[in-house]
Amino acid sequence: MSRVGIFGGTFDPVHVGHVVVAAWVRAVLGLDRVELVVANEPWQKLDRPLLSAAHDRLAMVEAAVGGIDGVVASPAEIDRGGLTYTVDTLASYRAADPDGSLFLILGSDAAAGLDTWHRYEEIAEMAEVVVVDRTGAMGKRPSVSHRVVECPLIDLSSTRVREWAEAGRPLDGLIPPAALAYCRQKGLYE
């Protein structure tokens, strides 16, 4: 019976905080793997005009996690196409492995808004909700059953990385080196 963590996101761009969370939760919960599922068209970000192309975001995540045991990039939502809803993603994973155990990994900020997600009540029926607490920084808890995993604090967000890039600041150390090389090659965030 497989134990798979699902860590979804826009990953625009992927940064070291994402990678640390994936590796940390995998180790703490003894998961077989954690899949960073790259959103195709995130419904909560439709108003953001400059979203990087899904294939670029997937390539960055693949580069970022390459060589990290048990952490992989997943194109599941991109392959499905259309708007991205976590409940649909979990249903596809459940259909592919009905006997496996799924763990939905959420940062505390995402978890605080879980009650606004499409068919959120069904999410906890398909996967154990795992909320990553940045060492006591957790605010509002989701109304569904969940487990809290404390993780080392890396105070970083993709929004902040994009802002630093727009200001001309260096991104070295914020984005994993292979993903940063991809960004530079493609001219992303410059």
Total domains in the chain come to: 1
pTM, 2 dp = 0.92
22-44 in b/e form (b: 16+ CB < 10 A) is bbbbbeebebeebbbbbbbebee
Q: How is residue 2 annotated by DSSP?
A: -
Find the domain containing 12 and state its range: 3-186
User: Hey, CA dihedral for 106, 112, 115, 116, is it positive or negative?
Assistant: negative
Please measure the distance between the N-terminal and C-terminal CA atoms of the chain and give it in whole angstroms: 44
Q: What is the largest CA-CA distance in the chain?
A: 49
pLDDT in 10s for each residue of the chain, 190 residues: 899 999 999 999 999 999 999 999 999 999 999 999 999 987 666 666 678 999 999 999 999 999 999 999 999 999 999 888 999 999 999 999 999 999 999 988 888 888 888 898 999 999 999 999 865 555 667 777 789 898 887 889 899 999 999 999 999 999 999 999 999 999 999 7
Asked if 123 and 104 touch (Cβ cutoff 8 Å), the reply is: yes
79: domain CATH number is 3.40.50.620
